Structure 1
């Protein structure tokens, strides 16, 4: 196991920070898209329900 861990190439600090920022930005972007999509669908369902008097 020790010999295998010696073969691992660990990223430097700059790469880790860059990758972390990328993951956070993508997470925020996907979260915002889901939030907007949820709001639009909620509005559409409310409109449909109000048209049919439910």
Structure 2
């Protein structure tokens, strides 16, 4: 619908060919920030339990 690529490497190729770098931060920072946030949430809910 919007033409967005979910894979950062897939977004990099067309940006390289067209020299359009305006939204590349979304494709590289977004997944890293989402993974970091998911790790924090997982750790808060399930982590650090004594055995």
Q: Greater Rg, structure 1 or structure 2?
A: 1
TM-score by length of 1: 0.45
More helix by share: 1
Q: TM-score, normalising length from structure 2?
A: 0.46
Q: Which one scores higher on RCO, CA 8 angstroms, separation ≥ 6?
A: 2
